[in-house]
Amino acid sequence: MNELLNRFIEKIKKSEIDLYNEFGLQFELALFLRNSIELEDYKIELERPINHFGIKKNICIPKKEIDICVYRENTLKTAIEIKVSTNGQVPLQLFEFCKDICFLEKLLDGKFESAYSLVVVNSDDFYKSKTKKEGIYAFFRGENKKQINGIIECPTGKDKGKLISISNSYKIVWADLIKDFKFYLIEIKKPVYNIV
């Protein structure tokens, strides 16, 4: 799946796929995956509710739908979460990026074999070191970014103070995509629990 996602990103870089908003990117990726010979026996679905797979939303699972899921009857192959952020709200969006990682870890803890988070932004407020380099900003800004791990608190908005937990550690590496857009793609790992 990693190879397929990288081929999709290359198509964007070559302007073979237009990048205009989040749903458009989800739709284009679903079409790309559906047309991939490697996945010819799989269903590729958008915004599939998790209860379809016998997973119930609860306080530990922060979302109820998967942006893109790749599966067949007996194999839940891949879950992909996508964010395209073009309208500011930087700290809130950073929390949403983390929330997707938390969600994908929970899906891996359930039934899925692999999971990926693809984030696309067009503002350097997301990745350049500015005045704020601590808190949630420390995961995404500057050369010496902290790895995303542990308990993360929503810094603003209606969910201010809400906590999520990320089991593994993820280093964000921003890369050029097209025009003013940068992206990162990370493969999410199955959560590891420490038994005391």
Domain containing 9 equals 2-123+171-188
Instruction: Look at residue 93 in the predicted model and tell me its pLDDT.
Output: 94
Q: Judge contact between 90 and 126, C-beta under 8 A.
A: yes
- Cα(36)–Cα(111) distance, rounded to whole angstroms? 23
Largest Cα separation within the chain, whole Å, is 51
Residue 193 lies in a domain: no
Q: Answer yes or no: is 9 within a domain.
A: yes
Task: Give the global pTM.
Answer: 0.92
C-alpha closest to that of 183 among 83, 41, 108, 48: 83
In a domain, 91, yes or no: yes
Instruction: For residue 150, tell me if it sits in a domain.
Output: no
CA distance 108 to 5: 18
pLDDT less than 50: residues of the chain? 196
Q: Is residue 128 part of a domain?
A: no
Task: Please count the structural domains in the chain.
Answer: 1
Question: Is 153 within the bounds of a domain?
Answer: no
Q: Kindly report, residue by residue over 21-63, the tens digit of the pLDDT.
A: 999 999 999 999 999 988 888 999 999 999 888 887 776 677 8
pLDDT at 132: 67
* Neighbour tally for 73: CB within 10 Å: 8
- Asked if residue 112 is part of any domain, the answer here is yes
Per-residue pLDDT at 100 = 96
13 within domain boundaries: yes
